[in-house]
Amino acid sequence: MAPYLKPLPQQTLVITGASSGIGLATARRAAFLGARVVIVSRNLPALEDIALELDPSGQRVLPVAADVGIREDVERVAQAAIARFGSYDTWVNNAGVAIWGRLTAGSEADYRRLFDTNFWGTVHGSLIAAQHLARHGGALINVGSITGDRAWPLQGMYCASKHAIQGFTDCLRMELEEARAPVSVTLIKPAAVGTPLLRHAHNYTGRPPQLPPPIYAPEEVAHAILHAAQHRVRDIYVGGAGRIASSVGHHAPRLTDWISEAALFSAQMGSGPASVEDSNLYRPGSAGEVRGDHGRREMQTSYYTRANLRPALPDLARRAADSAATALAERWRGGGSR
């Protein structure tokens, strides 16, 4: 059965990781457009402030504190959404944490904690939401990353979690489709996004982490998420540069390894000592901000994504990006390999 996705003003959305970054940008835009929103994070005081900002009447935005790595917490979120609004139409698994540093530098406890949030948080939210949405219809949206297609050094365990999310999401989609459940399942794949991620990252390097350009605005990811809430779509890449990097990595993996080894270590570490740690790996980090401090690097609109989401243009946009990636890969292959 094909899912029926309601117009946004008629929807109730559950958004995890909603106290900052992409989640907050999505909640703000959804509330502005008239949707009812359940905002979720570990930081209840921050959520309550955000709820008051978005909905002074207290009628359309519900803050719920939860650790998505704990299944019982996520079940409580679903129950709270149903108790307040009667149902929910879209569930967005966005909560995530990051670790910066070589894989040999970290501890197993830190890595397990990252997977609890990034992977198991997505699994808990997806399976709980799928049970409800299979009866009522709606959209399940998981926020992955281009690093789920193409790993970046210094973010190894984060990349591993995003690879796992992609495999899980693809399998769940097939199982729901085979069961004819009226659920649209979308994986969002952002490139580098200018959220407070760097401030919140658990950092082993001793130097301030940074993202390689281009850096896209968090609102671009929110735009993609809310599109997926209303339109059935399998994957959405946010950022043409990310789409090209994924395609080049597929067509010329060894050369992409060599380029990553040559460029991405220095590109992901700033100069000077790391700032005071605000890691959100084990406890809530600072909240209430959509954008982080990325120096003079301007955050960009993703014209590729905007074009790709227009009904008349998706095939053209995809073909243009794939053609560019293939041409680059063939050119690199012609130059030899390492």
Among the listed residues 158, 216, 237, 304, the single catalytic one is 158
Distances 44 to 64, 250, 287 between C-alpha atoms, Å:
7, 42, 10
Closest C-alpha among 9, 34, 54 to residue 230: 9
Phi/psi-derived region of residue 58, left when phi > 0, alpha when psi is between -120 and 50, beta in every other case: left
As a whole number of angstroms, the distance between CA 251 and CA 17 comes to 34
Place of tokens 């073909």: 319
Provide the β-strand partners of residue 189: 237
φ and ψ of 142, to 5 deg:
-110, 135
Residue type, 38: V
Provide the β-strand partners of residue 236: 188
User: What stretch of H or E contains 152?
Assistant: none
State yes or no: is 304 an active-site residue.
Answer: no
Do residues 325 and 56 make contact, with C-beta atoms less than 8 angstroms apart? Answer: no
As a whole number of angstroms, the distance between CA 26 and CA 290 comes to 10
As a whole number of angstroms, the distance between CA 223 and CA 202 comes to 28
Q: 86 Cβ partners below 8 Å, 6+ apart?
A: 12
Distances 77 to 14, 15, 28, 43, 253 between C-alpha atoms, Å:
8, 10, 19, 14, 41
As a whole number of angstroms, the distance between CA 286 and CA 270 comes to 21
As a whole number of angstroms, the distance between CA 56 and CA 52 comes to 5
Q: Which residues carry out catalysis?
A: 158
